[in-house]
Structure 1
Amino acid sequence: MSPARTDHDARRHDVSEAVWRVLAEHGFAGLTLRAVAAAMGASTGLVTHYFGGKHELIAHALDILETRTRQRPRLEAPAIGLPALRTHLLDILPLTPEGVAMNRIWVGSWDVALSDPALFAAQATRYERIRAVLRVAIEDAQRLGELPGRADARRLATTALSFTHGLVVQALFAPERFTPEHQTELVDDFLAGLAADADQST
């Protein structure tokens, strides 16, 4: 790899780190070319070398957010089926300081994604991927008799994600009430309700 290419990649990494710092501190509302330049201690002209405008900057920020979400430490499911579903739901919630920061940024991204067709499509695809992951765990749980086999796994996945995202929003706005312990209890209550339906169907 040529020195010029190495320098370019290093500088792009620096720009990406600055984008993340601005997101973490100010959210998408404060994400501007000028703010990223200030976070780097560089000129706005340097940042515009990488982004042609606000739209490209936001798209890159969402890519960074997606990558960091995938790469962050995750809980390990003790078994397939209902334990795996529980683990997936807990991984979404703001149970740690990092989880709180990540969820605050994701919630802040909804407004920009809803107003831009390309970003809207990317976010819709992301949520479809999450539902697919949940559906696999639900189907495993159905085969194991932990969840009602007659239920539509896709609908259950949609319900589970809707419950979890609602809990995310409540926890962000009322962290003193929705502590990590309480969030976990609510997830367990939710799953217990699903499992009770399985018991009644046997």
Structure 2
Amino acid sequence: MPAKTDHDARRRDVSAAVWRVVAEGGFGALTLRSVAAELGASTGLVTHYFGSKQQLIRHALELAEDRTRASIPEVTDLRTALAAVLPTTPEVTEISRVWVSSWDVALAEPELHALERARYRRWRTRLRPLVIKAQSVGDLPPGDPGDLATGLAAFAHGLVVQALFDPTTYTPKRQLRILDTHLAALRPSD
């Protein structure tokens, strides 16, 4: 009689291997074989849970979304929301590396492109009420809060990319200082 397998635990093990492969080598390194090697198992085991590279990619993006959500607390102010996405901790740096790595596959695959577009839309939507709140207390200029949210999201993600490529120059302390300088420059003068 075959041994019983805890399929949920095994799927978690495979998911963890998927994450390690993507975090280390990006989406270009993500294959059924690389996940099997990371897991120390056969590709047959991996294909039991993910039948194709496309399914692996979708799962890796879901893991990134889950980890992002877990790493960014519910915030009530704009500065905290923007600072939360900056790679100032090893965990957020790893998540950021995965997201930046995913852009290539998301640009090439229409379905993944749509998912990424929706993710950015959710991020801007999440920032919008924080922008309105900052406008109401005079921390941001009047204007379309959607446009301001878009600009701030683009600024934060641009800083993420700078920090990923040059972490020695863009230390966590410097990233936060640059963010504060940017927000201060947006504050209307009296």
Of 129, 132, 139, which residue of structure 1 is paired with 2:132?
Answer: 139
Distance 1:88 1:101 in 2: 18
Q: 1:106-159: per-residue Cα shift (whole Å, max 9, x none)?
A: 10000011111111111111111110111110111122233223x100000000
1:35-184 aligned at under 5 Å gives the runs 35-72=34-71, 74=73, 77=75, 80=76, 84-149=77-142, 151-184=143-176
Q: 1:62-117: per-residue Cα shift (whole Å, max 9, x none)?
A: 0011111111264x75xx4xxx1111111111111222111111100000111111
Instruction: Give the secondary structure class of the aligned counterpart of 2:170.
Output: coil
Q: 1:16-74: per-residue Cα shift (whole Å, max 9, x none)?
A: 11111111221111111001111111110111111121111101110011111111264
Runs of 4+ in 1 over 4 A off after TM superposition: none
- Higher mean Cα deviation, 6-15 or 167-176? 6-15
Distance 1:162 1:25 in 2: 25
TM-score by length of 2: 0.93
Instruction: Give the secondary structure class of the aligned counterpart of 1:175.
Output: coil
Q: Which amino acid aligns with 1:52?
A: G
Instruction: Give the secondary structure class of the aligned counterpart of 1:49.
Output: helix
- Structure 2: runs of 5 or more not aligned: none
Q: Sequence identity, in percent?
A: 55
- Structure 1: runs of 5 or more not aligned: none
**CA RMSD, aligned part only?**
1.7
Equivalent residue, structure 2, for 1:29? 28
Equivalent residue, structure 2, for 1:15? 14
Distance 1:73 1:145, change over 3 A: closer
Q: Which amino acid aligns with 2:119?
A: R
Instruction: Give the secondary structure class of the aligned counterpart of 1:109.
Output: helix
Distance 1:89 1:142 in 2: 16
